[in-house]
């Protein structure tokens, strides 16, 4: 079963608004990965975080790993319609990759 | 750009029939995963291979599911007999050894009727 919890399950935003999804684990994570799955598509790797407190940015996307390495967040600034999809966090490495339940983002034009 | 190839893209089968899915990972990727994704949920790991060896199949329903990767390259996932509850997307992914990021194929959408 799922070992990482994601909230919220669904999020509707107006284009231009910000969006944040959170990933929480009851155990310390060796690393956390983020994937995006467009409607009808397959998961696509976005980023991997490894270090405590790590922050990485990809254009309008900001990824953060908690100090205790038990939680992570993905923040999108000024959403666009191209951001629509489900965002998954996944715990582990090449030997174990377990996905959260995802946050489905809808961007209203 | 290298891709993970899966076939077929879509499969409709009657319950109690056998069905098989094929996956060809990115060249050089030793780790291969089979996931099942039910609509609205995250991918659930069924089996993980390192080369030709099974690393983790704890979530694979072994009474009806089997997976093999005989030469450590392409892989086949089989269901026999298929049940209505097996309807889902079956995703194959691969990664380099000791690298976390996984590359997914387009998936096989299975419908059991």
* Residues contacting A82, CB < 8 A, separation 6+: none
B34/chain A closest Cα distance in angstroms: 11
The pair phi, psi for residue B101, each rounded to 5°, is -70, 130
Query: Does any domain span residue A61?
Result: yes
Give the pLDDT of residue A1.
44
What confidence category does residue B96 fall into, taking pLDDT thresholds of 50, 70 and 90?
confident
In a domain, A6, yes or no: no
Is residue A5 in some structural domain?
A: no
Residues B81-105: what's their mean pLDDT? 91
Establish if A90 belongs to a structural domain.
Answer: yes
Name the domain count of chain A: 1
Q: Which CATH architecture has domain B15-99?
A: Sandwich (2.60)
Judged by a CB distance cut-off of 8 A, whether residue A77 touches chain B is no
Is residue A23 assigned to a domain? yes
Residue A14 resides in a domain = no
Average pLDDT, integer, range A2-7: 83
pLDDT, tens digit, 9 for 90 and up, residues B66-81: 999 989 899 999 999 9
pLDDT in tens, B30-72: 999 999 999 989 999 999 999 999 999 999 999 999 999 989 8
Nearest residue on chain B to A46, alpha-carbon basis: B101
Q: β-pairing, A71-76 with A19-24? A: antiparallel
Interface of B with A (CB under 8 A): 31, 33, 35, 40-45, 48, 50, 55-56, 91, 93, 95-107
Does pLDDT of A2 surpass 60?
no
pLDDT in tens, A35-91: 999 999 999 999 999 999 999 999 999 999 999 999 999 999 999 999 999 999 999
Mean pLDDT computed over every residue of chain B: 94
Residue A8 lies in a domain: no
Shortest Cα–Cα distance, B99 to chain A (Å): 5
CA-CA distances (angstroms) from residue A69 to A7, A9, A88, B28?
17, 22, 17, 31
| pLDDT confidence of residue A21 | 98
Let me know if residue A1 belongs to a domain. Answer: no
């Amino acid at each position: 079963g799922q070992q990482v919890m994601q909230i919220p399950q669904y999020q509707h935003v107006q284009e231009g608004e910000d969006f944040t999804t959170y990933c929480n684990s009851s155990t310390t994570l060796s690393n956390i990965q983020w994937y995006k799955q467009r409607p009808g598509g397959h998961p696509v790797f976005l980023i991997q975080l490894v270090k405590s407190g790590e922050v990485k940015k990809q254009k309008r996307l900001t990824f953060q790993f908690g100090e205790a390495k038990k939680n992570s967040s993905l923040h999108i600034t000024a959403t666009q319609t191209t951001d629509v999809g489900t965002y998954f966090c996944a715990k582990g490495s090449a030997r174990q990759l377990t996905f959260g339940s995802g946050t489905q983002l809808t961007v209203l034009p | 750009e290298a891709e993970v190839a899966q076939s077929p893209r879509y499969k409709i089968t009657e319950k109690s029939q056998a069905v098989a899915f094929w996956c060809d990972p990115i060249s050089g990727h030793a780790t291969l995963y089979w996931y099942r994704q039910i609509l609205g949920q995250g991918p659930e790991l069924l089996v993980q291979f390192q080369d030709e060896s099974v690393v983790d199949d704890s979530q694979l329903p072994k009474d009806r599911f089997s997976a093999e990767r005989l030469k450590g390259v392409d892989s086949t996932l089989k269901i026999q007999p298929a049940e209505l509850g097996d309807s889902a997307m079956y995703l194959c992914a691969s990664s380099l050894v000791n690298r976390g990021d996984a590359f997914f194929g387009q998936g096989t959408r299975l419908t059991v009727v």
